[in-house]
Structure 1
């Protein structure tokens, strides 16, 4: 089987081919090359015709028609150069430029002789393959050589421009795909991390001889997971939904820690605020694991939302034993790192996660741009 020709991917610049694989960008490139070719030959024909008119030639009309016919021949030659460039499309720009530069003088010579014989026939002059005036001959040859080189340069500039656009678009698509994949990967960490901690809680209840409570906790856990598994990690949820999920989660933890007091404060104006789903789940888990579980009852955990200018701020605060000095130093765990990475992927530099320890309490504050769900 023959290897696919990379040049075959480019369309003929005079034909706007339509097919299931044709791209709007390819059609625009075809139109640009067509406009370039017609414009250059049209301008050339118009300038030479104007010169003939200014010389008061008695055959100006016939000369104009012949120049249009010769321009059609020139367009055919440009198509030949187009085919050559297509065949070399997989080569470097330098190789293509050298190839066209080498071919251009021969193409120019061919066109100049064709032009000479055509106008000799029009004016009834005897035409011979003999150079009478070398000065004029070199002038004509150089003029048409540079004409075809100029056409090729503009042709390659059009290709480069559209290729650069395509590469930029492709890069943006790949970055978007990588961004989505990373967000999904980060979101997929949440449920296993949460499940691990929840199963530890159920195991602790069983070891304490509280089998009935462990069974009820398992039932609530399954209900909670049915709610979270239906969430699309790439679609924002309202802050009211986010807080409701954490209210259910903390209801599960209250079965293990009956003295845990939970306070969730959500101002009316922020109920429809848009947030990434389960964005504070690891912070709430950490508050239970490192705060509530290690403090003497009673313990308290609060989740509060507030508006700060054009930003949304969510605070997760746990308080327990005032004799223990909480610390935020040392390497961050999976949960906190997950929150930081998701915030950075969603909001770039327009976000922050601040951890503030104190004597007997610990505060985690998430800040992000304020937006609202529809």
Structure 2
């Protein structure tokens, strides 16, 4: 499997690495020049400007030649399965760096009339090449290592970004699937209530349910539904849903609200309360001959948001039976997918009877 190469035009920062390495040679150039000046001063000798220029320029020449290692490092990476073909190229590149450095150094020596341009020129040239070999090879493979380290850093960062995108897409798909399970479940129950009204010949209430159901379905079937909505929007949807149930149960359904005003702008999962309210109606109202009470509460405390739905019905026969339903099991799964361990769903049995479902979420406020 071939390894990806560093892109040549994707990001300007990728092409600045050779410039940074080249500029790094300015530091040893300045230090070497300062060292030559101080040695001459300490020895009581006159400071020759030719020596200062030569010592500083040598390092600058080396910096100017480092792009050879960068360009060859891009074109021939020393990756697994490729090093046998790339190694001879890089050895040739190191020799080219050495040859260029020695040539520029000798040319500067000729201009300044100083070492290494002493004695016969061919002999001085060969001697200076041999002198330049260790530093040339060291600098070439140092730059090559920096190029590869930078390339692998970019690849690792890209893999992390891809993994995070895939994780987000997977979570989005799971949330969509869970939401699509809830919508038909809600629609089936609403249509069942509508069928009862039609069979009883209650055309006025049936028409009212159809009107309310149309409003609810328009909200459910929006293509751009966000995963989180302000609590005020969620409560408005619950009011529409309860209006349908009020037609069905008439004066047998008593709904009470305890909503903390500070919690209304908090973000909550869309349609998170509907299955809880539906369960409360099913267990707290539908099984009673007299009126049943449902209490919907929201409270913000510190960095937590607490939502609860409570009924005064017969309650759940067991927590296992309650969690086995579509509504609660999907709600728990949605919370786990969206918030992980930061959210929880708890089933309580109040002292006065009935059942209570409590959701605890991280408190986040959306844009105004």
Residue 70 of structure 1 deviates from its aligned partner by 5.5
Aligned to 1:27: 12
Long gaps (5+) in structure 1: 12-21
| 8 Å contact from structure 1 (residues 184, 234) kept in 2 | no
1:148-186 deviation per Cα after TM superposition (whole angstroms, max 9, x unaligned): 222222333333334434443444444344444444444
| 8 Å contact from structure 1 (residues 183, 342) kept in 2 | yes
In the alignment, does 2:294 pair up with 1:296? Answer: no
Change (3 A) 1:336 1:100: farther
Residue 112 of structure 1 deviates from its aligned partner by 5.6
2:27 to 17, 40, 43: 43
Change (3 A) 1:80 1:243: same
Long gaps (5+) in structure 2: none
CA–CA distance in structure 2, aligned partners of residues 34 and 74 of structure 1: 12
Change (3 A) 1:69 1:278: same
Aligned to 1:17: none
Q: Please, which moves more after superposition, 140-149 or 72-81?
A: 72-81
Aligned to 2:317: 326
Aligned to 1:82: 70
1:362 to 348, 351, 355: 355
Alignment of 1:231-242 (within 5 A): 233-234=225-226, 236-242=228-234
TM-score, normalised with respect to structure 2: 0.77
Residue 315 of structure 1 aligns to a residue whose secondary structure is strand
1:54-78 deviation per Cα after TM superposition (whole angstroms, max 9, x unaligned): 3589894345555666556544542
Aligned length: 352
CA–CA distance in structure 2, aligned partners of residues 151 and 369 of structure 1: 48
Residue 297 of structure 1 aligns to a residue whose secondary structure is coil
Residue 47 of structure 1 deviates from its aligned partner by 4.6
Aligned to 2:305: 312
| 8 Å contact from structure 2 (residues 68, 93) kept in 1 | no
| 8 Å contact from structure 2 (residues 175, 337) kept in 1 | yes
2:247 to 251, 255, 260: 255
CA–CA distance in structure 2, aligned partners of residues 189 and 178 of structure 1: 17
1:255-298 deviation per Cα after TM superposition (whole angstroms, max 9, x unaligned): 22232222222244444443333211111122233443334333
TM-score, normalised with respect to structure 1: 0.76
Could you say what the CA RMSD is over the residues aligned between the two structures, in angstroms? 3.9
| 8 Å contact from structure 2 (residues 40, 46) kept in 1 | no
2:185 to 193, 218, 225: 193
In the alignment, does 2:110 pair up with 1:157? Answer: no
Aligned to 1:14: none
Change (3 A) 1:329 1:208: farther
Residue 326 of structure 1 aligns to a residue whose secondary structure is coil
Change (3 A) 1:241 1:153: closer
Aligned to 2:279: 286
Residue 226 of structure 2 aligns to a residue whose secondary structure is coil
Residue 208 of structure 1 deviates from its aligned partner by 4.2
2:107 to 98, 104, 118: 118
CA–CA distance in structure 2, aligned partners of residues 294 and 246 of structure 1: 21
In the alignment, does 2:203 pair up with 1:215? Answer: no
